[in-house]
């Protein structure tokens, strides 16, 4: 029975830019706003009323339908409107235009652990969190043991959660949300947290949920998990629905379009997370061992990763830029940071910089590698996050083991020094 | 045999019709459209969340404090002592021939419920911003829970009040039943003003400062420190506009036998309280569509 579970028609959402600033606005600022707008109009900086309100469309004219029991993946770059879509479907915020219909109870894992109070015990938080998510007491009581077992924190259930490790915190929160038994489950990037075993558990739970005839909308940057779980996917780009179709097709289209293997991505005006004024990244480049920009690399030769950026403020500590290399099937190969070089630890002055590292040859395995670059203040704030920004094609032109052939296992193919000693 | 088959058929028919009768409820999400209705039915469905919020507040409020729940008693009691020393003693404020300590404490018990509840209401949305932006539920639950959780402090301070009556040799009369409607007026006024302040606070953080100031001015405009008998007859009419004035005087009358006895005049402050409550709730529901975007 394939009854429609979610129907979205011409959905659009407009945000006022700097909405956060408006939130903290004082009465005076708000009252003077009309005058500021009038001034901009007089100066000819705005042509229509809509120009006066600094707005942008987080979603524009999205339409799609999801059938019961389907797992729909949603992919797109940062700011493509994925989270806005989930927020509208979970009724946290309303659309500006268009409409959406959802059938049955909607549960969301937008941010697990919502409403956890550090002073309360795990048990108390399970009840409280459950009730926020729309469960009643009898329902929570019935599933309580299952929730605790899923989270695997039986012996700490009566300890205040402020003594929990962050992993325990997330596991418990996910467990509550996963046992909500919604008809529609909205999942946003939960797999970014927790260890590998727990992530497997979460994926398993989501598959289970859909086999019970529930609908799942799954937003993730983890392409591997999307291709494994979803049969169908949406690709959002700057608030528009770029592609809707079988997950395989959408993913390959998205990856080849999004992460280019020309070896460089440049932003003349710089990019950063919204609201960040400390840092802008202007370019991410791959250079081969000859110093030429290229996304096609010889597996035997070293290559260089460059991040070009400007700091607009003095940053006293914890600043770093870094990269994550991910295999095409979604397995993280390694991460690396400029502060791995101890000499770079410490305050940073404003100015334009390039941070460069060398990746040795004969380390990666031939194939496609996706690069994510970012800059931020470690444990304080993410300033810029460029997910899957470049694709590297590692060409097998010889190297480790190729002289005798055969397939290698694992995700890397390092060249190690082998010796042999004769013992007898 | 035949009977069994018929029965089986009947169950099939039943479950079939049950499935048809109870399709999953459809939720329509559409752009905000002007004034909405209060949707009290939805609020009722979320009554357990209301209960949990109050319960959590009770569990957490006095954690990691040395005096714990006795703070509920200490605050009004110490205020009463201060008032008694300065207003009752030094300034010789009249107190309707009742010992000043019990005169002021009788007023301070409902007043604390009102003023601290008002402050908590006003902050309720801002302090739960992390929940507002993550999950849907009727937002009215937050200020209501914040306001009602004041009743937890009210209970012990009221028991102290009864103890003081014993010390001062006062016996309560049947009039104490009037405390219930007065409590109701207090809650209506508190929630009504609280809804307004909570919704405004999301956009204008000025409200946090206004609340402290408002509570102070309101205290002077309410016969807490002084008896209403001190006010001229023309002034008394003005006090009818302040629901809390009728509550305070009503408490004194119900417990101590002095103060304003209930009369038809009380319809005025209660009507005002009701208007505050309904308009506050309507304004809140209208604004709640934007809370998650702005908070």
Cα(B8)–Cα(B20) distance, rounded to whole angstroms?
18
A327: enclosing H helix or E strand: strand A319-327
Residue partners of B139: CB distance under 8 A and separation at least 6: B125, B132, B284, B288, B291
Task: Please list every residue in chain A whose beta carbon sits closer than 8 Å to the beta carbon of residue B139.
Answer: none
Q: Are A172 and A205 in contact (CB under 8 A)?
A: no
Given an 8 Å threshold on Cβ–Cβ distance, is A104 in contact with B24? yes
Predicted local distance difference test score (pLDDT) of residue A411: 86
Given an 8 Å threshold on Cβ–Cβ distance, is A90 in contact with B63? no
Q: Name the band, by pLDDT with cuts 50, 70 and 90, for residue B114.
A: very high
The CA distance from B39 to the nearest CA of chain A, in Å, is: 15
Backbone φ and ψ of A178, nearest 5°: -70, -25
Mind listing the pLDDT tens digit for each residue in A16-32? 765 444 444 556 666 67
What is the pTM (predicted TM-score) of this model?
A: 0.72
Interface test with A, best of B16, B19, B25, B30 (most A CBs within 10 A): B30
Q: Which residue has the higher pLDDT, A41 or B63?
A: B63
Identify which of B27, B60, B293 has the shortest CB distance to residue A19.
B293
Q: Which residue has the higher pLDDT, B9 or B232?
A: B232
Identify which of B31, B52, B289 has the shortest CB distance to residue A128.
B52
Mean pLDDT, residues B58-74 taken together:
78
Q: Name the band, by pLDDT with cuts 50, 70 and 90, for residue B295.
A: confident
Backbone φ and ψ of A43, nearest 5°: -80, 0
Mean pLDDT, residues A242-256 taken together:
83
Buried b (16+ CB within 10 A) or exposed e, A151-188: bbbeebbeebbeebeeebbbbbbbbbbbbbebbbbbbb
Predicted local distance difference test score (pLDDT) of residue A258: 59
Q: How many CB atoms lie within 10 A of CB B20?
A: 8
Predicted local distance difference test score (pLDDT) of residue A356: 94
Backbone φ and ψ of A285, nearest 5°: -135, 150
Cα(B157)–Cα(A47) distance, rounded to whole angstroms?
62
Alpha-carbon torsion, ordered A40, A45, A51, A55, to 10 deg: -80
Predicted local distance difference test score (pLDDT) of residue A59: 92
Give the SS3 label for residue B294.
Answer: helix
Given an 8 Å threshold on Cβ–Cβ distance, is B30 in contact with A104? no
**pLDDT at residue A3 above 60?**
yes
Give the SS3 label for residue A361.
Answer: coil
Predicted local distance difference test score (pLDDT) of residue B19: 42
The CA distance from A11 to the nearest CA of chain B, in Å, is: 9
Predicted local distance difference test score (pLDDT) of residue B284: 92
- Supply the ipTM of this predicted assembly: 0.76
Q: In what order do the strands lie in the sheet with A264-271?
A: A264-271, A279-287, A303-311, A351-359
- Which chain B residue lies closest to A19 (C-alpha atoms)? B294
Given an 8 Å threshold on Cβ–Cβ distance, is A30 in contact with B49? no
Query: Considering only CA atoms, which of B175, B122, B179 is closest in space to residue B154?
Result: B179
Alpha carbon B212 to its chain centroid, in Å, reads: 17
Cα(B259)–Cα(B248) distance, rounded to whole angstroms?
9
Residue A245 β-bridge partners: A233
Q: Name the band, by pLDDT with cuts 50, 70 and 90, for residue B13.
A: very low
Predicted local distance difference test score (pLDDT) of residue B15: 40
Q: Are B127 and B35 in contact (CB under 8 A)?
A: no
By the CB < 8 Å criterion, does B206 face chain A? yes
Query: Considering only CA atoms, which of A386, A166, A355 is closest in space to residue A271?
Result: A386
Ranges of H-type helices in A179-238: 196-211, 223-229
Alpha carbon A75 to its chain centroid, in Å, reads: 10
Q: Are B77 and B157 in contact (CB under 8 A)?
A: yes
Going along chain A from its start, the domains and CATH numbers come out as: 4-13+61-256 (3.40.50.300), 18-53 (no CATH), 264-395 (2.70.50.60)
Given an 8 Å threshold on Cβ–Cβ distance, is B26 in contact with A133? no
Ranges of H-type helices in chain B: 2-21, 40-45, 47-60, 71-83, 100-127, 129-132, 141-148, 150-167, 179-203, 206-220, 233-239, 243-256, 267-294
By the CB < 8 Å criterion, does B31 face chain A? yes
Cα(A5)–Cα(A389) distance, rounded to whole angstroms?
34
**pLDDT at residue B18 above 70?**
no
Given an 8 Å threshold on Cβ–Cβ distance, is B23 in contact with A103? yes
Identify which of A99, A120, A137 has the shortest CB distance to residue B29.
A99
Mind listing the pLDDT tens digit for each residue in B233-289? 888 888 889 999 999 999 999 998 887 788 888 899 999 999 999 999 999 988 888
Q: Are B280 and B201 in contact (CB under 8 A)?
A: no
Distances (CA, A) of A138 to A21, A130, A134, A141, B229: 42, 11, 12, 5, 54
Give the SS3 label for residue A6.
Answer: strand
Ranges of H-type helices in A104-188: 122-132, 137-151, 166-178
Report the mean per-residue pLDDT for chain B. 84
Task: Please list every residue in chain A whose beta carbon sits closer than 8 Å to the beta carbon of residue B59.
Answer: 119-120, 124
Report the mean per-residue pLDDT for chain A. 83
Length of chain B, please?
Answer: 295
Mean pLDDT, residues A275-300 taken together:
88
Query: Which DSSP letter does residue A370 get?
Result: E
Predicted local distance difference test score (pLDDT) of residue A64: 94
Given an 8 Å threshold on Cβ–Cβ distance, is B31 in contact with A98? yes
Cα(A274)–Cα(A54) distance, rounded to whole angstroms?
14
The DSSP code sequence of B194-218 is HHHHHHHHHH-THHHHHHHHHHHHH
The CA distance from A139 to the nearest CA of chain B, in Å, is: 12
Cα(B144)–Cα(B140) distance, rounded to whole angstroms?
6
Given an 8 Å threshold on Cβ–Cβ distance, is A101 in contact with B28? yes
Given an 8 Å threshold on Cβ–Cβ distance, is A103 in contact with B137? no
By the CB < 8 Å criterion, does B60 face chain A? yes
Predicted local distance difference test score (pLDDT) of residue A193: 55
Mind listing the pLDDT tens digit for each residue in A402-412? 777 667 888 89
Q: In what order do the strands lie in the sheet with A332-337?
A: A296-298, A381-395, A367-377, A319-327, A332-337
**pLDDT at residue A194 above 60?**
no
Query: Which DSSP letter does residue A261 get?
Result: -
**pLDDT at residue B8 above 50?**
no
Instruction: Please state which of the ranges A2-6, A398-402, A407-411, B201-205 shows the lowest mean pLDDT.
Output: A398-402
Cα(A321)–Cα(A355) distance, rounded to whole angstroms?
8
Given an 8 Å threshold on Cβ–Cβ distance, is A110 in contact with B294? no
A354: enclosing H helix or E strand: strand A351-359
Q: Are A408 and A390 in contact (CB under 8 A)?
A: no
Mean pLDDT, residues B143-168 taken together:
91
Cα(A217)–Cα(A71) distance, rounded to whole angstroms?
6
Q: Are A368 and A391 in contact (CB under 8 A)?
A: yes
Task: Please list every residue in chain B whose beta carbon sits closer than 8 Å to the beta carbon of residue A89.
Answer: 29
Distances (CA, A) of B281 to A162, B36, B134, B188: 35, 10, 22, 11
Q: Name the band, by pLDDT with cuts 50, 70 and 90, for residue A191.
A: low
By the CB < 8 Å criterion, does B274 face chain A? no
Q: Are A247 and A90 in contact (CB under 8 A)?
A: no
Q: Which two tokens stand for residue B87?
A: 């207003």
C-alpha angle A120-A125-A127 in degrees, rounded to nearest 5: 130
The CA distance from A132 to the nearest CA of chain B, in Å, is: 6
First to last CA, chain A: 72
Mind listing the pLDDT tens digit for each residue in B68-101? 778 888 888 888 899 888 888 888 888 888 889 9
Q: Are B144 and B220 in contact (CB under 8 A)?
A: no
Instruction: Please state which of the ranges A109-118, A171-180, B144-153 shows the lowest mean pLDDT.
Output: A109-118
Q: How many CB atoms lie within 10 A of CB A366?
A: 18
Cα(A342)–Cα(A330) distance, rounded to whole angstroms?
30
* A and B: number of Cβ contacts within 8 A: 114
The CA distance from A140 to the nearest CA of chain B, in Å, is: 12
The DSSP code sequence of A37-77 is HHHHHHTT--SSHHHHS-EEEEEEEEEEEEETT-EEEEE--
Predicted local distance difference test score (pLDDT) of residue A23: 42
Of A113-127, A355-369, A390-404, B20-34, highest mean pLDDT: A355-369
Q: Which residue has the higher pLDDT, A197 or A133?
A: A133
β-bridge pairing A232-237 and A97-103: unpaired
Cα(B93)–Cα(B91) distance, rounded to whole angstroms?
6
Cα(B226)–Cα(B96) distance, rounded to whole angstroms?
9
Query: Considering only CA atoms, which of A214, A248, A211, A216 is closest in space to residue A233?
Result: A248
Mean pLDDT, residues A286-295 taken together:
87
Task: Please list every residue in chain B whose beta carbon sits closer than 8 Å to the beta carbon of residue A137.
Answer: 48
The CA distance from B4 to the nearest CA of chain A, in Å, is: 30
């Amino acid at each position: 029975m394939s009854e429609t579970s979610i129907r979205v028609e011409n959905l659009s959402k407009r945000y006022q830019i700097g909405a956060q600033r408006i939130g903290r606005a004082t009465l005076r600022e708000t009252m003077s706003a009309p005058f500021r707008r009038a001034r901009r109009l007089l100066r000819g900086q705005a042509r229509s009323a809509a120009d006066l309100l600094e707005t942008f469309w987080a979603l524009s004219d999205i339409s799609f339908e999801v059938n019961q029991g389907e797992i729909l993946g949603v992919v797109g770059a940062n700011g493509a409107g994925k989270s806005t879509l989930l927020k509208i479907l979970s009724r946290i915020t309303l659309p500006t235009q268009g409409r959406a219909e959802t059938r049955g109870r909607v549960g969301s894992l937008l941010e697990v652990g919502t409403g956890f109070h550090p002073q309360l015990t795990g048990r108390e938080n399970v009840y409280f969190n459950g009730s926020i998510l729309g469960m009643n007491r009898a329902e929570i009581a019935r599933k309580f043991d299952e929730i605790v077992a899923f989270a695997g924190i039986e012996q700490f259930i009566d300890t205040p959660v402020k003594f929990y490790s962050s992993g325990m915190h997330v596991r418990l929160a996910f467990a509550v949300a996963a046992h909500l038994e919604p008809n529609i489950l909205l999942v946003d990037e939960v797999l970014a947290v927790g260890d590998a075993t727990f992530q497997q558990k979460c994926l398993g739970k989501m598959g289970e949920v859909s086999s019970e005839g529930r609908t799942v909308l799954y937003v993730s940057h983890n392409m591997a998990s999307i291709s494994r779980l979803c049969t169908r996917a949406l690709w959002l780009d700057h608030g528009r629905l770029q592609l809707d179709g079988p997950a395989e097709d959408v993913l390959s289209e998205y990856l080849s379009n999004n992460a280019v293997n020309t070896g460089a991505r440049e932003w003349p005006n710089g990019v950063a997370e919204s609201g960040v004024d400390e840092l802008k990244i202007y370019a991410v480049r791959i250079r081969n061992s000859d110093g030429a920009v290229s996304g096609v690399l010889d597996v035997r030769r070293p290559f260089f990763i460059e991040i070009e950026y400007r700091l607009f403020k003095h940053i006293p500590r914890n600043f770093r830029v870094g990269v994550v290399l991910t295999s095409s099937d979604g397995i993280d190969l390694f991460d690396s940071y400029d502060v791995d070089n101890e000499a770079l630890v410490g305050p940073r002055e404003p100015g334009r910089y390039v941070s460069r590292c060398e990746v040795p040859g004969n380390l990666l395995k031939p194939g496609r590698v996706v690069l994510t670059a970012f800059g931020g203040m470690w444990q304080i704030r993410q300033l810029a996050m460029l997910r899957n920004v470049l694709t590297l094609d590692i060409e097998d032109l010889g190297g480790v083991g190729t002289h005798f052939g055969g397939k290698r296992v694992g995700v890397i193919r390092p060249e190690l020094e082998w010796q042999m000693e004769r013992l007898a | 045999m035949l009977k069994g088959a018929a029965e089986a058929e009947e169950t099939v028919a039943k479950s079939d019709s049950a499935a048809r009768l109870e399709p999953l409820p459809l939720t329509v999400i559409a752009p905000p459209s002007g004034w909405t209705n209060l949707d009290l039915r939805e609020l009722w469905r979320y009554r357990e969340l209301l209960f949990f919020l109050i319960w959590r507040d009770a569990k957490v409020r006095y954690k990691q404090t040395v005096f714990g729940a006795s703070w509920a008693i200490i605050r009004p009691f110490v205020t009463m002592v201060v008032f008694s020393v300065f207003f009752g003693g030094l300034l010789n404020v009249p107190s309707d021939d009742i010992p000043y300590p019990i005169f002021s404490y009788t007023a301070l018990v409902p007043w604390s419920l009102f003023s601290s509840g008002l402050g908590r209401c006003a902050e309720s949305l801002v302090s739960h911003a992390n929940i507002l932006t993550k999950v849907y539920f009727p937002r009215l639950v937050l200020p209501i829970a914040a306001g009602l959780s004041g009743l937890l402090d009210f209970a012990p301070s009221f028991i102290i009040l009864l103890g003081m009556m014993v010390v001062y040799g006062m016996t309560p009369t049947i009039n104490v039943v009037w405390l219930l409607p007065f409590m109701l007026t207090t809650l209506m006024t508190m929630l009504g003003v609280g809804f307004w302040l909570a919704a405004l606070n999301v956009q204008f953080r000025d409200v946090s400062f206004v609340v402290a100031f408002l509570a102070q001015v309101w205290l002077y405009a309410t016969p807490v420190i002084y008896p209403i008998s001190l006010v001229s007859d023309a002034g008394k009419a003005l006090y009818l506009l302040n629901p809390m004035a009728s509550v305070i005087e009503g408490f004194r009358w119900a417990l101590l036998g002095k103060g304003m006895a209930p009369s038809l005049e009380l319809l005025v402050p209660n009507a005002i309280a009701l208007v505050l409550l309904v308009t506050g709730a309507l304004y809140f529901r209208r604004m709640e569509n934007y809370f998650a975007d702005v908070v």
